[in-house]
Chain A
Amino acid sequence: MLRRFIRDVKNYKTYGVYSAKATLKSEVAGSYLNWLWWILDPLLFMLVYTFIVQVVFNKRMPNFHIYVFIGLNVWKMFNSTIISSASLIRLSKGVLSKVYVPKFIMLASKIYVATFKMVVSFTLVFLMCLFSGIALGLRVLYCIPLLAVLCVVTFGLGLIVMHIGVYLKDLGNMMNVFLRLVYYMSGIFFDIANGVPYPYNEILLKLNPIAFIIQSMRQAIMYNTAPDFLVLGFWLVMGVLFSLLGLSWTYRYENNYVKVV
């Protein structure tokens, strides 16, 4: 299976990358404001949460806006990929019923798009740090392995959701609710470590990969602190395992996808 995977990556890499770039390009070309939305969307939500937490709930926290913005960006990348993978095969039917494409390529293309948007949006994080007087240290570079692990975990989970989504029509609706739950358990606009009672905060931060990655990114960017490598390694391994499971499923059953949808 791995050999097939490597061969497929080699043969279809150009297609996947071109498809992702074309998607990005078409979004930019659509209207002038369009690519600004990649930044505007998390930025506006940042204002909403900052207003609610700081003004309505009257909780003061230094640089809260940056804190929220990092969380929102990571979440958006994960969330949009998983949601779209539930109906990915059905939506790509036009292409899939004409030629053979390894199905994971479609998902990888989606992740490429989502990650690119996230990286663009992240430049704003660094700008905001500059204005808020947060000195970025070298440990900011830990964002890179964190992003890599995020991509692997998203890829693995996305493959599994994509496979089930072929057979289960209302998976999209189910995922919406489930992801909302995960959203509130990821500490996007609150601090899990200090805001959730022990031992639940520990559990959440270790067993929810998104909570862990968001938390670690904040530490790396805002406090120049290294992530917990044990947990990072654990999620890398889990991500790879999810991917292997997803790949073996999609390889075994992709033959039937076009017949079902």
Chain B
Amino acid sequence: MDSAIDIKNVHITYQTINSIPFKQFFTGKKVKRDRFEAVKGATFSVKKGEIIGLVGRNGSGKSTLLRAVAGVFSPDQGEIDLHGNSVSLLAIGIGFQRELPGSDNIYLAGLLMGKSLEEIQERYDEIVAFSELGDFIHKPVSTYSSGMYSKLSFSISCILPTDVMLIDEVLSVGDVAFRKKSAAKLRDLIREEDRTVIIVSHNSETIRSLCDRVIWLHHGEMKMVGETNEVMDVYEAFMAELAQKNA
């Protein structure tokens, strides 16, 4: 099988040169450049149609790696090759122009996912229906509750799927009814033959039920890669031990 994503020795560094106040220009204080390497040399390939789980503690570089794959920023070192596949990142709480209504944001988000205006137009009604927003779709996104916000974001990604989907801990958005519906929809999408998926989740249940393989990131390094159950057994044991130590 062809690989859909090739990741070679990827390093991503955050330089916390927080935007500085002007005063510092005159006082001439050296700007502190704290470097923080979030991902330290990740290397793996994802085959076309494969579903990969990404696990690890908070701050282990999972989301950073996903964002790099989505192209939000490029790695400081190493290579990410998507072989021309279209990609979308599904994450909580990001992605809209807040002063614009939901309807326009559907189009804008779709365009950025590489869809054409016609394609979006065709599926527009479906997106609105799935999001359950009703008339709110014509109100500015800034008036939305956080639940509505996630529902819209989720609906767009689900109805306009890309070749590669990156899912960052969003399998639990909205109320129970919506959650059930979205989980079912997502499962259908993910299981489609050609869809390549990377899922970040802290929910072992989700990972075990969906993923073909699992990658465990620890402090930015790849601690373990392998069959889902194999990795998850070790990972869960590790986490249990950690919880015991902290208790």
Spell out B's residues near A (CB within 8 Å). Answer: 14-15, 17-22, 67, 70-74, 88-89, 91, 94-101, 104, 107-108, 111-113, 117, 140
Residue of B nearest to A100 (CB): B71
Contact of A98 with B19 at beta-carbon distance under 8 Å, contacts A26-B100, A26-B104 already known: no
Residue A136 CB within 8 A of the other chain:
no
B28 to chain A, nearest CB (A): 15
Distance A23 CA – B141 CA, assembled complex (angstroms): 13
Of the A-B pairs whose beta carbons lie under 8 Å apart in the complex, a sample of 28, sorted by A's number, is A14-B117, A15-B112, A22-B108, A26-B99, A26-B100, A26-B101, A26-B104, A26-B140, A94-B94, A94-B97, A95-B95, A97-B72, A98-B91, A98-B95, A98-B112, A99-B70, A99-B113, A100-B71, A166-B19, A168-B21, A168-B22, A169-B20, A170-B22, A255-B73, A256-B15, A258-B73, A260-B15, A260-B18
A260 to chain B, nearest CB (A): 6
Contact of A167 with B108 at beta-carbon distance under 8 Å, contacts A96-B72, A97-B72 already known: no
Does A94 lie within 8 Å of B96, measured CB to CB?
yes
Residue of A nearest to B116 (CB): A14
Residue of A nearest to B101 (CB): A26
The interface bits of chain A over 139-169 (1 if a CB of B lies within 8 angstroms of the residue's CB, else 0) are: 0000000000000000000000000001111
Taking a contact as CB atoms closer than 8 A, the residue among A15, A99, A170, A255 that contacts B89 in the complex is: A99
Distance A260 CA – B91 CA, assembled complex (angstroms): 19
B65 to chain A, nearest CB (A): 14
Distance A98 CA – B88 CA, assembled complex (angstroms): 8
Distance A23 CA – B111 CA, assembled complex (angstroms): 16
Task: Report B-chain residues with C-beta under 8 Å of the C-beta of A100.
Answer: 70-72
Taking a contact as CB atoms closer than 8 A, the residue among A23, A167, A174, A258 that contacts B20 in the complex is: A167
